[in-house]
Structure formats: structure tokens, C-alpha cells
Structure 1
């Protein structure tokens, strides 16, 4: 644990109220899908359906944002697999820090490297993507990502500050690149036209995709982990 991580994590633990109620509230914020992905995904839906002269552009951007978020998520997972393993702070007793809820923490995250944060990578990609289309709503989306997704995970000891900074940097960089007109042109317009031509199939597939985004692909990841253990 470097000095930067130590300073921020120690500060958060000591500055926050010591009541169990506060820790429970933060745990709810960290766990509830509504406070993580459902809100920014709802904004993307509004972006898709809002009428106006820029409708086609906004729909192409929604497709590109979701694709960028998926790429950022995969990049984060690959880095977690191939970079040196980093134990999550909540499991590291040598740090000398008492994280709220540490005594009740499950062990399923012990096998997942802490660096980088895939939550930060995915949802910062979505938030920055919203910012690229709707500035003020995008600012709120970025703040929501920082305050309701990244900060609680640091406070609870699920990640180091540098984990979420790395994840957020990955997400912001990927979406800034892949949403450019030249890079989204080969795929986004075709997906938009497919959904507009076949709305029954298109929106059904979109619903399933948004569900997986909202749940952070939990079920596919658990399935992959189970298969890995079996092999």
C-alpha cells in the first residue's frame, strides 16, 4: 500500500461518522444496482428516445457509449488477470485499518484482484459518454459515479484509491476514443438502423444487454468462475 492510498483511505475511515447506521447506508449504496448502473442507463434511454434534430447522432452515441463501456470493462478484467495480484484492502490485516463491515465480508472477492476497479471503468465510461452528449447531465453522471460508486468502494475497503483512479482513467479514455465519429461510423449506424427496422427484436436484445450492464455481468462472471474452478 503506497503513501497515497494510505493517506486517503485512513482519512476516509477516520473522517466518516463511526455509527453502524452510516456504514450500513454506504454498504447499501455500494450494493444496490439502482445507485450504480440503473441511473446512468436510464439517462441513456432518455438520450435514445428524446425527439429532436440530433436524434440519429444521439442514438449512434448511445451505441458507441455502451460498446465503449463494455470494452473498458473487459480491459479492466484482463488487466486484473495479468497484472500482479493485488489483495483487496478489506482482506489485508497488515494495513492496520478497520473497514466497516469487514467482520461480515464474504470471501468471494478474495480471488479477484483489486487493481483496477471494473466498477469505475464501466460506469465512468458511461458517465463520460453522457457528458460528451449532454454536458450538464453528464457532470451529474460523473459526480454520481464518483460519489455513489467509487468513493463507497474505497471507504468499505473493496478497493484502494489508486484502483478506482486506474479504472476511471480506463473508462474515460476508452469512451473518449471509441465515440469519435471515425471510430463509431463502422458499427454504430448499422446497429441503430437494425433496431429501427426491427424494433421488436432490437429492443428485446437491448433490454437483455442493459440488464447485464446494470448487474455488472454478475451471472456470466460467476458462471465463468465456476467453470474455471471445475477445470
Structure 2
């Protein structure tokens, strides 16, 4: 079934160069992936609401949880048994999109999808703050995050399923707990009373999540190379 779904979704790739370029942009650009979700978080944060403190606590908890979810996904992909991505299996009758080759994402294990872990966790956390907009975030996770990565052969459908389930589970457990801590300890009120500190911090976290910590990972790679001599 995993293979059947993969090949069915993959049919949209490798047919038209312009369509391939669009799918690649959707799959790789933060303007399509993380930034719209972070804009949604900021919009909900600023929108007046009858239970604004509870909503903001859920959103703040979602950001903290999302960092943990992404880190968990990366650790699992590095520690679980290696799983080759579909584009690295020469025996699969895949359609390769223009500019995608067998060296794309080489040496990166497919299981679980860290994209699925992060964005399904974010969608679930947003749903706990606002159900309607949570459904929008969930649709984004499915249509913008999951489908293009399967269509391009970056992931098996089961990679997405496992990653998404992990993200949802982490959010359902962690966000209510973090919301309670932020409200009961007065930490949210303390942060809101210091906007000169809390808003720049929130911007930093949202920026890094929106870009999946790309700049931080690049910096760490450079530092690693420098220290290695």
C-alpha cells in the first residue's frame, strides 16, 4: 500500500518542467512552508479574544513544543535504522522532477519525516488555541508539506504518517501542560508585562521555526568544520 500511494501521488511529477518547478518551490521555500504558519500564530496572538490569556498560553506552548518536536524528529531520523528515500531506490519506477536527482537529500534517512513532525505538531497546537484555524493549519500540513514531498519522492507515505502521528501526539500531550504552567505560574503575565524582551524572543523562535532552523544548522555546520580543523 505504501508503494501504491507513492506511485499514485508521484504521477504529477516529471510531466511538465513548469509544474515541477512549482512543486519544488512549494516543497523547499519557507515562503510556502513555515512562514504562513508563523503568520497564523502571530495573527491569532494579536487578535482580540474573550479568553485571550488562555489562547496566548496555548500559542506560546505550541511554539515551545514545536522546537521540541522538530528536535525529536531529527534525533529519531539519526538514531533509527537508516531508511532510503524513494528517489534513492533505482528499482522504483519513479518520475523524477526536473533538477531532482539521486544525490538529492543523499545520506539523510527518510523515517520519520521531520517536516511532518513539525507541521502536524504546529497544526495540532494551533487547533488547541483555535479549532477553525487549526483546521486551516492541518490542511496546509497535508497539501503544502506532505503531498509535495511524497510526489517528489523525498518520502514514503509511511514516513509522513509516522512523523505526523508523532507531531500530533506530542502537541496533544505537551501544549495543554505548557498552557497550564504558563497560566498557573504567572509566567505568561510576566512575559506580557515585558514586551521588550518577550516579543523579540518570540520573533526569534518564530523565525527559526518558519525556516526550520536553516541558518542555525548552517552556523553549527561551519563551527563544526572549524573546530575539526
TM-score, length-normalised on structure 2? Answer: 0.89
Task: Give 1:51-70 correspondences, 5 Å limit.
Answer: 51-70=48-67
Report what 1:185 is aligned to.
180
5+ residue gaps, structure 2, are none
CA distance, structure 2, for counterparts of residue 226 and residue 96 of structure 1 = 37
Q: Structure 2 matches for 1:119-158, cutoff 5 A?
A: 119-158=115-154
1:228 shift after superposition: 5.2
8 Å Cα contact 2:125/2:171 also seen in 1 = yes
Matched, 1:32 2:29: yes
- Looking at structure 2, the residues matched to 197 and 131 of structure 1 have their Cα atoms a distance apart, in angstroms, of 26
What is aligned with 1:79? 76
Given that residues 63 and 191 in structure 1 are in contact (C-alpha distance below 8 angstroms), is that contact kept between their aligned partners in structure 2? no
Shift of 1:71: 1.5
- Aligned equivalents of 1:169, 1:199: Cα separation in 2: 35
* Superposition deviation, residue 195 in structure 1: 2.7
Q: Secondary structure at the match of 2:172?
A: helix
- Assess, with a 3 A threshold, how the Cα gap between structure 1 residues 114 and 138 changes in structure 2: closer, same or farther: same
Q: Distance between the aligned counterparts of 2:50 and 2:9, measured in 1?
A: 46
Contact 1:86-1:114 at 8 Å conserved across structures: yes
- Give matches, 1:1-231, under 5 Å: 4-14=1-11, 18-101=15-98, 103-105=99-101, 107=103, 109-180=105-176, 182-187=177-182, 190-226=186-222, 231=228
How big is the shift at 1:171?
0.8
Distance 2:196 2:52 in 1: 20
Would you say how many aligned residue pairs link Structure 1 and Structure 2? 226
Cα contact 2:94–2:153 (8 A) shared by 1 = no
Moved more, 128-137 or 155-164: 128-137
Q: In structure 1, what is the Cα distance between the partners aligned to 2:134 and 2:47? A: 16
- Alpha-carbon distance in 2 for matches of 1:94, 1:88: 12
- After the TM superposition, which segments of 4 or more aligned residues of structure 1 sit over 6 Å from their partners? none
Task: Between 215-224 and 137-146, report the one with greater CA deviation.
Answer: 215-224
Going from structure 1 to structure 2, the CA distance change for 1:136 and 1:88 (only over 3 Å counts) comes to same
Greater displacement, 9-18 / 195-204:
9-18
- Distance apart, 1:16 and its partner CA: 6.0
Within 2, Cα distance between the matches of 1:14 and 1:196?
A: 49
CA contact (8 A) 1:194 1:202 kept: no
Question: Could you state the TM-score of these two structures normalised by the residue count of structure 1?
Answer: 0.88
